[in-house]
Structure 1
């Protein structure tokens, strides 16, 4: 059964503002495709596209890119973004995609597939893909790290406090960690030509407030905020203040390096 989250307008706006766009992973996906299939890159479909940060990264490689999502609020944010002319969006479930059989060259899902009905989604992706087309599923672990001067280790101990406080509010669907979900999906994929990749560390420099904002987009933080808004605000403020104190700065606009730990798997549909 698919899980529906991230559908409020405020949450969708924060998602667009703070989530990291993994252009390094797009390069890896395209390198894989170029090795596996003739250079026939007509249509890419980005499923569970959210506010479209990953979708637009595919635009230089394909004649047409379509992002799909179940959430009208997320798609509203995606449409408000600066989109290349070959990018468009459709509202639909991940398990019922409005494309013909064998029509798609690449199906991607970036930090979204763990919310899908896994078996139905894999069947739908197989229906869409042409022979030689590729499937790419991407996500990252919650334990992002910070780098700042010589206090990085102390900062990351504080970050671990934050993640531990949010753990009880994780959706039961991913309580044991999303990485296992992706491994299970990888094992369920029937394509013989497939590869599992862990871990790709992606670094981004951003204000400390950007890191806090990113964590506040997590479903676990959103759940805490829904249950106890005052406690969610207290936790966020407490962690921010501890980080600032350790960094010996007063402004949350101070830049830090955020390390996001991505994992992903790629598969190529057999040619008949």
Structure 2
């Protein structure tokens, strides 16, 4: 792994509680595989699986699903899930997967590949993928939108202020925008059968506490916590209070629609 993150036990627990399972993206990956090489769904890897949000939704589609991560704390959280019997987890770096060459039908990395040594990971994914196997990389932008009655614009202005305050604490390895990282990886993938998708809007109705909790799991926020925990708590409290005031609610249980904007790419290894 080029950068190790999300490894503290408290952070891993928050990750499990607040991160969204990308079920719509799983459906797109499976559809892509059925269109290109149907009936080859034996083994799927979820690389950088964290606490298993993307691992478990793969289970209905594959004979065996393995989530891999470099963080023992994240894998400990993953094991607290109600995991289907065909799901298991392995501790290993993304660049050194403990699988035989040509053994894997799907290598997926969900909101994780930006932390990898990208060149080494792509080589390793190519090694373990069978001919015709699928490589799927996805992530999302931090400019999530909130929808709530006629105050959605106000809520999104508040969210933009929060993200602007957190931006200086972005890890330099992530450059200025994660989408560019994935675009570069897409360009460097030599597979001729591949597709890039810049925006898939995924909506989730969550309590306001769920959105605030999700922001608390972001690497930028966690970096601020390490540097100045009081300022991190102050920023989150200010945003929380502004959102509640705009929504005219007195409880964080009030539900809001969170729009997560995913980007992803899919590629098929040549036969």
Q: Could you state the TM-score of these two structures normalised by the residue count of structure 2?
A: 0.99
C-alpha deviation, 1:40, in angstroms: 1.3
4+ residue runs over 6 A deviation: none
Residues 1:59 and 2:44 are matched in the alignment = no
Residues 1:119 and 2:86 are matched in the alignment = no
Alignment of 1:99-114 (within 5 A): 99-114=99-114
Number of equivalent positions: 271
C-alpha deviation, 1:138, in angstroms: 0.6
Partner of residue 253, structure 2? 253
SS at match of 2:266: strand
The separation in 2 between residues aligned to 1:62 and 1:29, in whole angstroms, is 12
Alignment of 1:190-269 (within 5 A): 190-269=190-269
Residues 1:78 and 2:78 are matched in the alignment = yes
SS at match of 1:39: coil
- 1:219-270 CA distance string (max 9 Å, x none): 0000101111111111000000000111111111100000000000000000
The separation in 1 between residues aligned to 2:224 and 2:155, in whole angstroms, is 23
Residues 1:158 and 2:164 are matched in the alignment = no
SS at match of 1:236: helix
C-alpha deviation, 1:175, in angstroms: 3.5
Which segments of 5 or more consecutive residues in structure 2 lack a partner in the other structure? none
The separation in 2 between residues aligned to 1:128 and 1:117, in whole angstroms, is 16
- 1:125-178 CA distance string (max 9 Å, x none): 000000000000010001111000000000000000000000000101114110
- 1:62-86 CA distance string (max 9 Å, x none): 0000000000000000011110000
Residues 1:135 and 2:135 are matched in the alignment = yes
SS at match of 1:165: helix
Partner of residue 91, structure 2? 91
The separation in 2 between residues aligned to 1:17 and 1:213, in whole angstroms, is 8
C-alpha deviation, 1:34, in angstroms: 0.3
Q: Say which is worse superposed, 85-94 or 34-43, in terms of deviation.
A: 34-43
The separation in 2 between residues aligned to 1:44 and 1:211, in whole angstroms, is 30
Partner of residue 171, structure 1? 171
- 1:28-70 CA distance string (max 9 Å, x none): 0000000111311100000000000100000000000000000
Partner of residue 189, structure 2? 189
The separation in 2 between residues aligned to 1:40 and 1:161, in whole angstroms, is 46
The separation in 2 between residues aligned to 1:46 and 1:249, in whole angstroms, is 39
CA-based RMSD: 0.6
Q: Could you state the TM-score of these two structures normalised by the residue count of structure 1?
A: 0.99
